[in-house]
Amino acid sequence: MKALKEMVLCTAPFIVAAILLYPFMAILGGGTDPFLWERHDRAFYFICTTCFGVMLLIRVVNHGRD
C-alpha cells in the first residue's frame, strides 16, 4: 500500500500539469486535437508539462517534510 501511495504522489503532479497546460496548448497548437499539432508544438507541451510537473513534485515533497 505504501508503494502505491508513493507512485500516486510521484505521478499526480505530472498529470495535473498536463491537464492544466492543455487549454493553453490547444490555443497555441491551433486545435483541441493533439494529433493535429505540429511536432514542435508537441515537444513544447512535453517540455512545459515536465517542468511544471517537477515543480509541483518538489512542492509535494517539501510539504511532506515540514
Q: Which three cell numbers stand for residue 54?
A: 517537477
Helices (H), the chain: 2-29, 39-65
Mean pLDDT across the chain: 88
Is the confidence at residue 64, as pLDDT, over 70?
A: no
Nearest to 42 by CA among 31, 56, 29, 32: 29
Are the CB atoms for 62 and 19 separated by under 8 Å? Answer: no
Nearest to 21 by CA among 3, 45, 57: 45
Q: What is the pTM of this model?
A: 0.80
Tens digits of residue pLDDT in 4-17:
888 888 899 999 99
Q: Which residue has the higher pLDDT, 30 or 22?
A: 22
Q: Which residue has the higher pLDDT, 64 or 31?
A: 31
pLDDT of residue 66: 61
Is the confidence at residue 25, as pLDDT, over 70?
A: yes
